[in-house]
Amino acid sequence: MGSTDTPYSRRRWLGPEDLLGYLLMIPSVVWVLGIILYPLVFNFWVSFHRMSMVEAQAPYVGFANYAAVLMNLDFWSSLRLTCVWTFGSLVVIVPTGLTIALLLNRDFWGAKVVRTWILLPWMFPVIVITLIWRWILDPVVGVLNFLLVQTGLVASPISFLSASKAMTTVILVNSWRWIPFMTVMVLAALQTVPSEILEASRVDGAGAWSRFRWITFPHISPVLSVTTFMLTMWLFNMFPPVWLMTQGGPGGATLILPVKIFIEGFQVFRMSEAATLSVILLLFLASIMGLYFRLSGERVGGR
């Protein structure tokens, strides 16, 4: 017994255990690669050709597309905006989700109701969320400005989706949507914290912060880490919220890469440009992924 004891480096014949391991894993791998491999490769191919229409001749152009994209200031501006969008959102989502989860983990009157209510933002379809927020934030007919002006907090209505404020606004609206997700994940992770150890330390006189730092946090950190990492990947590629609120405007203030890719591909029909941008983004994210695995040791074999 004990394939778990075998050092990874020692090669051995594949036993029936390994076969079962493969069998259990293969369906998922096949499902994912089966759908995504062809588009990935096709996209890669398009980035090396000049293709403006779905059915046209596409001459080979080598690295010309990449050169054009990388030398265009618009790309770097878009990349910068995407980083602002991603890390700005993470800064709001992760701590807030964590805090709310910690609070919800206690038993208090109405906890069950609050737990469900807190999760509502995540359950609305994006289109609904963006419509409603745009309505609430509207300077002329929106309720937020109405309240701000009526109570005298501001002199005149604030345009929350102006060029200077749009990025902050979309980050906050999207974060509002995703905080429940983080809360759910942390709450689940909190259930794995052994309560006797917590009790014991409380009896020993450890304060709330110490308990959190030395007992709770280590137990939830794998889930917290992986979830944050996945959220980072998703944010870099997230199209609907920004598109539905501003379509990348005003004046390109929220023109993050996924939106830019969509416009290039489906609005101005520059397929090569869209493909090239997405390959660059993919390589960028792959390196972030590599970095994450190296730093966290979370790579499956590394635990």
Partner 1 sequence: MERKKRSTRSNGITRRAFVRGLAAAGLGTSALAPAGIRPAAAQAKEITMWHWETPPNRVKVHDTIITEFKKETGITLKQVPINFPEYQQRMLAAIAAKDLPDMIQVNPPTFMTLFAHQAIIPITDIFKDIHAKVKFFEGTYRDYTLEKENWGIPVFGVLWPLLYRQDLYQSIGLPNGPRTWDDLLKAAKELTKGGVYGMGLPVSTNGNYGSQNIWGFLRTHGGAIVDCQAGAEKIVFNSPRTVETYKFLADLAQHSPPGNENWAWSDGELMIKAGKIAAAVFTGSFLREADAKSPELAAKYRYAPTPVGDKDDKPLNSGYPRNVTVTRAAKEKGRMELVKTWLTWLTEPDHHASYLFMEPGLFMPMSQASANSKVWTEHPINKKYAALIKGQVDAMTTVSTVGFENGCHSPKAGAYEGSFLLAAVLQKVVLNKMPVQDAVAWGQAEYEKIQRS
Partner 2 sequence: MGRRHASPARIALYLPLAGVLFLYLFPGYWTLASSLKSLTDLMGAPTAFPLQPVLENYQDVLGGTPFLVFMRNSLIVAGSVSVLTLVLASTAAYSLSRFRYPGRAVFSQLILLVYLFPGILLIIPVFVMMTRLGLYNSLVAVVITHVLFTLPFSVWTLKLFFDTIPEDLEAAARIDGASRLSILRVIYLPLSRPGIAAAAIFSFVVSWNEYLFASVLVADNELKTLPVGIAGWTSSYAIQWGQITAASVLTILPAIVLFAFIGRLFIRGLTAGAMRE
- Minimum Å gap between C-beta 162 and partner 2 is 20
- Minimum Å gap between C-beta 88 and partner 2 is 18
Q: Give the nearer residue to partner 1 in terms of CB position, either 97 or 265.
A: 265
d(CA 296, CA 232): 15
User: Binding string to partner 2 for residues 122 to 151, with x set by CB under 8 A, is what?
Assistant: xxxxxxxx-xxx-xx----xxx--x-----
Residue 108 touches which member of partner 2, partner 1, none, C-beta under 5-8 Å by kind: partner 2
Q: Determine if 251 is a binding residue for partner 1 (CB under 8 A).
A: yes
Residues between 44 and 83 with contacts to partner 2, criterion CB under 8 A: 54
- Minimum Å gap between C-beta 222 and partner 2 is 5
Label residues 31-66 b or e (16+ Cβ within 10 Å = b).
Answer: eeeeeeeeeeeebeebbbbbbeeeeeebeebeeebb
d(CA 238, CA 267): 18
Among 140, 153, 295, 300, binds partner 1 (CB under 8 A): 140
Q: Give the helix ranges, DSSP H, for the chain.
A: 16-46, 64-71, 73-104, 111-118, 120-123, 126-137, 143-150, 166-190, 195-203, 208-211, 217-236, 240-246, 257-262, 271-296
Residues that bind partner 2 (rule: CB under 8 A) add up to a total of 102
Residue 169: name the closest of 241, 258, 234 by CA.
241
Residue 251 touches which member of partner 2, partner 1, none, C-beta under 5-8 Å by kind: partner 1
d(CA 129, CA 174): 9
Q: Determine if 191 is a binding residue for partner 2 (CB under 8 A).
A: yes
Residues between 161 and 190 with contacts to partner 1, criterion CB under 8 A: 161-163, 166
Q: Which residues bind partner 1 (CB under 8 A)?
A: 52-55, 138-141, 156-157, 159, 161-163, 166, 245-252, 263, 266-270, 273
